[in-house]
């Protein structure tokens, strides 16, 4: 069930859902608009092979930039943006992130992004420029629409990004890849 404005306002008022700060135009008909924060991350290198399975944390591959108000997304490239808002979801609500449609009409997109039940922190979102032109965004502008849905039962996000503030480059996948290798070895033994 998608939450409408009245339900979002009720949850905020009761302290079950936390969005800080909330602006006059934040709560929409069926979700919450979030704003671009004052830093972003972009790859520090070009044409450098990156193997997520060989690293624990990808922070060394990104340059984190404090904004002077403008963020230029190069053509056919992407940046990691953070939200101004700190979000804390209850254990029975998930969020689906969508780029605001006006920005999509300029050629920007984001991959499907789920904010897990019980997550709290600022959001880091990948914004891809699919156009042949540099696109300029500004800090403080609404860019992300967070649709909230009730889920059956309860869950609590306990991952690495819990409580993050500011832009956060991706974690490495060394442990995940080791587990995958073990599974593939076991599958090979079973055949």
Single out the catalytic residue among 85, 126, 182, 189: 126
Query: What is the reported pLDDT for 191?
Result: 63
Which tokens go with 140?
Answer: 């403080």
Rg (CA), the chain: 18
To which H or E segment does residue 191 belong?
none
Query: What is the reported pLDDT for 188?
Result: 84
Which tokens go with 133?
Answer: 């032109």
**How many Å separate Cα 129 from the centre of its chain?**
16
Write out the chain's pLDDT in tens, 191 residues. 999 999 999 999 999 999 999 999 999 999 999 999 999 999 998 888 999 999 888 889 999 999 889 999 999 999 999 999 999 999 999 999 999 999 999 999 999 999 999 999 999 999 999 999 999 999 999 999 999 999 999 899 988 899 999 999 999 998 889 999 999 998 987 66
- The reply to whether 13 belongs to the active site is no
User: Hey, where are the domains in the chain?
Assistant: 5-190
Query: What is the reported pLDDT for 190?
Result: 66
Instruction: Give 12-55 as a 3 state SS string.
Output: HHCCCCEEECCCCCCEECCEEEEEEEEEEEEECCCCCCCCHHHC
* CA angle centred on 153, ends 152 and 159, rounded to 5°: 110
Fold exhibited by the domain 5-190: Deoxyuridine 5'-Triphosphate Nucleotidohydrolase; Chain A (2.70.40)
Q: What is the DSSP letter of 181?
A: H
Please tell me the chain's helix, strand, coil percentages from 3-state DSSP, rounded to the nearest 5. Answer: 20, 40, 40
Q: Pairing between strand 70-73 and 62-66? A: unpaired
* Cα–Cα distance for residue pair 55/39, rounded to 1 Å: 24
């Amino acid at each position: 069930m998608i939450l409408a404005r009245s339900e979002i306002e009720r949850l905020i008022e009761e302290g079950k859902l936390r969005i800080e700060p909330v602006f006059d135009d934040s709560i929409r008909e069926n979700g919450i608009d979030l704003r671009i924060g004052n830093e972003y991350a972009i790859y520090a290198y070009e044409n450098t092979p990156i193997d997520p399975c060989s690293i624990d944390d990808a922070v060394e591959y990104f340059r984190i930039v404090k904004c002077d108000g403008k963020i230029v997304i190069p053509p056919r490239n992407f940046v990691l943006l953070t939200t101004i808002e700190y979000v804390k979801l209850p254990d029975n609500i998930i969020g689906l992130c969508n780029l605001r449609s006006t920005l999509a009409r300029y050629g920007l997109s984001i991959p499907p992004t789920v904010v897990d039940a019980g997550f709290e922190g600022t959001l880091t979102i990948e914004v891809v420029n699919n156009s042949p032109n540099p696109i300029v965004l500004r800090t403080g502008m609404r860019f992300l629409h967070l649709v909230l849905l009730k889920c059956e039962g309860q869950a609590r996000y306990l991952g690495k990004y819990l409580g993050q503030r500011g832009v956060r480059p991706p974690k490495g996948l060394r442990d995940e890849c080791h587990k995958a290798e073990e599974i593939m070895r076991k599958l090979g033994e079973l055949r």
